[in-house]
C-alpha cells in the first residue's frame, strides 16, 4: 500500500514540474527569465497577469474560447447521448459501419483540409462566429463522445432497460431519470474530454475566426515578436488557460469517482 502511494507521489511531482516552471516564469519579467536561472521568482511580479486582465485583446480571447467550447460540449453531449444508446442497445442497418465512420473523422490531417473548411463555412455565412467553431469541433468531439458513452452504456446490463419498460416507463423518462444517472461517470468523463479537445484545438479555431471570435490559443501566438518570445506573458496566459478546464474537472470529479451504483435500481 505504502509503495503504491509513493509511486503516485513521484509521478505527480514529475507531472507538475513543467507546470511549476510555467508558473515560475509567469511571475517574472521577461528580462529576468532570460538573464538568470532561478528556481523561484526572486522579483515577484503580477505584471504579466495584469496585462492579460486589462487588455481587451487578451481577455476577449478567453471569453471567445469559453463560449465556443461550452457550446460545443453541450451540442456534443446532447446529440451523442441518444446515439450512443442506439449503438449500445440496438442492431440496425449499417450500425457497425456508421460507428466506425464516425471515428474516421478524427483521422484527417488538418493542414490541407483547412482551405475547404474555410470555403464551406464562408458559403453558409458563419465565418468569425462562435457557433462556426463549435460546429467544426463537433467533427472530432461528437464521434469521441459517442465512442466513450457507448462503452459506458454497454457496461449497464440490458435487464435494467427491460425492467423499466415493463414498469411502464417511456423511453425519454427512462433515459433521463434512470439511465443517464447510471452512467454518470461516463457522462462526466465525456464532458471533460469534449471540453478539453475543443479548448486546445488551434488550427480550425484560427482558420474560422478573424476578430470577434478569436480563440485564446491563437492570441497567444502573438507573443512572438521581432525581439523573440515574451516568455513571462506567454506563461501567464498558459497558466490562465488551465484554469477553466481545471474547474470543469473539479465539478465532474465526483461523477467520475462515484462510478456505478448498482444498488440504486
Partner 1 sequence: MDKWEDNRAWFLVLPVFIIVAFSAIIPLMTVVNYSLQDIFGPGQRVFVGVEWFKEVLSDKRLHEALVRQFIFSGLVLLIEMPLGIIIALMMPKKGWGASLSLVMLALPLLIPWNVIGTIWMIFTRPDIGLFGAGINALGIAFDHTASPSDAWVTLMLMEVWHWTPLVALLAYAGLRAIPEAYFQAARIDGASAWAIFKYIQLPKMRGVLTIALLLRFMDSFLIYAEPFVLTGGGPGNTTTFLSIYLVKVAVGQFDLGPAAAFSIIYFLIILLLSWLFYQVLQNVGKGEA
- Positions in 128-147 near partner 1 (CB under 8 A): 135-136, 138-139, 142-144, 146-147
In whole angstroms, how close is the CB of 55 to partner 1 at the nearest point? 18
Minimal distance in Å, beta carbon 125 to partner 1?
Answer: 14
* Cα–Cα dist 26/248, whole Å: 23
With binding defined as CB under 8 A, does residue 87 bind partner 1? Answer: yes
| C-beta of 127 vs 196, nearer to partner 1 | 196
Q: How far is the CB of 228 from partner 1 (least distance, A)?
A: 11
Q: How far apart are CA 155 and CA 178, in angstroms?
A: 15
What's the closest the beta carbon of residue 56 comes to partner 1, in angstroms? 20
Q: Look-up: residue for cell 440496425?
A: 92
> Toward partner 1, which CB reaches closer, 47 or 151?
151
Which is nearest to 50 in space by CA: 208, 232, 261, 263? 232
Classify residue 213 by its DSSP letter.
T
C-alpha span between 102 and 194 (Å, rounded): 15
d(C-alpha 61, C-alpha 47), whole Å: 19
Phi-psi region of 131 (alpha: psi -120 to 50; beta: other; left: phi over 0): alpha
Footprint of partner 1 on 175-204 (CB under 8 A): 183, 185-186, 188-189, 192, 196, 199-200, 202
- Which lies closer to partner 1 via its Cβ, residue 13 or residue 50? 13
**Of residues 157, 176, 181, 212, which one binds partner 1 by CB under 8 A?**
157
What residues numbered 203-232 form the site for partner 1, per CB under 8 A? 216-217, 220-221, 229, 231
CB of 198 to partner 1, least distance (A): 11
Q: Which residue number, 1 or 56, has a Cβ lying nearer to partner 1?
A: 1
Nearest approach, Cβ of residue 168 and partner 1 (Å): 18
* Residues between 36 and 55 that touch partner 1 (CB under 8 A): 36-37, 39
Backbone phi, then psi, for 225, in 5-degree steps? -135, -175
Q: How many CA atoms lie within 13 A of 240 on its CB side?
A: 27
Range 8-27, binding partner 1 (CB under 8 A)? 8, 11-12, 14-22, 25
CA gap 158, 153 in Å, rounded: 9
Interhelix angle 56-89/95-104, rounded to 10 degrees, is 160
Cβ-based neighbour number of residue 224 at 10 Å = 11
233 binding partner 1? (CB under 8 A): no
Q: How many residues lie near partner 1 (CB under 8 A)? A: 107
Among 98, 127, 160, 180, binds partner 1 (CB under 8 A): 98
> C-beta of 249: minimal distance to partner 1 in Å?
4
Should residue 242 be labelled a site residue for partner 1 when binding is judged by CB under 8 A?
yes
| Per-residue CA distances from 121 to 150, 204, 233 (Å) | 30, 11, 33
Contact between 258 and partner 1 per CB under 8 A:
yes
Amino acid at each position: 500500500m505504502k509503495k503504491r502511494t509513493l509511486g503516485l507521489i513521484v509521478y505527480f511531482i514529475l507531472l507538475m514540474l513543467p507546470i511549476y516552471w510555467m508558473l515560475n516564469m509567469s511571475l517574472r519579467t521577461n528580462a529576468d527569465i532570460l538573464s538568470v536561472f532561478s528556481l523561484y521568482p526572486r522579483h515577484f511580479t503580477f505584471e504579466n497577469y495584469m496585462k492579460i486582465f486589462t487588455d481587451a485583446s487578451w481577455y476577449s480571447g478567453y471569453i471567445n474560447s469559453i463560449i465556443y467550447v461550452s457550446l460545443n460540449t453541450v451540442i456534443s453531449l446532447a446529440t451523442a447521448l441518444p446515439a450512443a444508446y442506439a449503438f449500445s442497445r440496438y442492431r440496425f442497418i449499417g450500425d457497425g459501419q456508421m460507428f466506425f465512420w464516425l471515428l474516421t473523422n478524427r483521422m484527417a490531417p488538418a493542414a490541407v483540409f483547412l482551405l475547404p473548411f474555410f470555403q464551406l463555412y464562408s458559403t453558409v455565412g458563419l465565418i468569425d462566429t462562435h457557433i462556426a467553431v463549435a460546429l467544426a469541433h463537433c467533427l472530432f468531439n461528437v464521434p469521441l463522445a459517442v465512442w466513450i458513452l457507448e462503452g459506458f452504456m454497454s457496461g449497464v446490463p440490458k435487464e435494467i432497460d427491460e425492467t423499466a419498460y415493463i414498469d411502464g416507463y417511456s423511453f425519454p423518462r427512462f433515459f433521463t431519470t434512470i439511465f443517464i444517472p447510471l452512467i454518470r461517470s461516463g457522462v462526466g468523463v465525456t464532458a471533460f474530454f469534449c471540453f478539453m479537445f475543443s479548448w486546445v484545438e488551434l488550427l480550425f479555431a484560427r482558420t474560422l475566426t478573424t476578430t470577434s471570435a478569436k480563440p485564446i490559443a491563437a492570441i497567444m501566438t502573438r507573443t512572438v515578436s521581432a525581439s523573440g518570445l515574451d516568455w513571462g506573458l506567454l506563461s501567464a496566459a498558459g497558466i490562465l488557460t488551465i484554469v477553466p478546464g481545471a474547474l470543469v474537472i473539479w465539478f465532474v470529479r465526483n461523477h467520475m469517482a462515484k462510478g456505478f451504483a448498482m444498488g440504486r435500481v
